[in-house]
Amino acid sequence: MALGWTAAEQVVVLQEDGTVHLYTVTGEFEKTFSMGQAARDFGVTAMEITSDGRGMAVLTNNNRLFSVSSFANPRPRHLHDIPGVSDESEVG
């Protein structure tokens, strides 16, 4: 699990299966979204909130990178694989 803050002062809670929960600063639930099937299948090992606080990137346990550019309208997308690190046979 990982935690972070958005630019709108929402608490970001990332679960190992790639499920993301957003809460207000007072703890009220706002929304849930998923980082996608690969995150569910392989699990998430790391998360970083973007420097502007409006999005995030995650690294799955099979070394795939996924990002969401907007917490307001989350649409996870797969970023390019890191040459020599990601195993093509594990694509999920």
Taking only the tens place, the pLDDT of each residue in 44-83 is: 999 999 999 999 999 999 999 999 999 999 999 999 887 7
The mean per-residue pLDDT over the stretch 29-52 comes to 96
Cα–Cα distances in angstroms (integers) from residue 78 to residues 9, 16, 36, 64, 69, in the given order? 26, 17, 9, 7, 12
Task: For residue 83, give its domain range.
Answer: 2-90
- Total domains, the chain: 1
What pTM did the predictor assign? 0.86
CATH code at position 10: 2.40.10
**CA 44, CA 60: separation in Å to the nearest integer?**
4
The mean per-residue pLDDT over the stretch 13-22 comes to 97
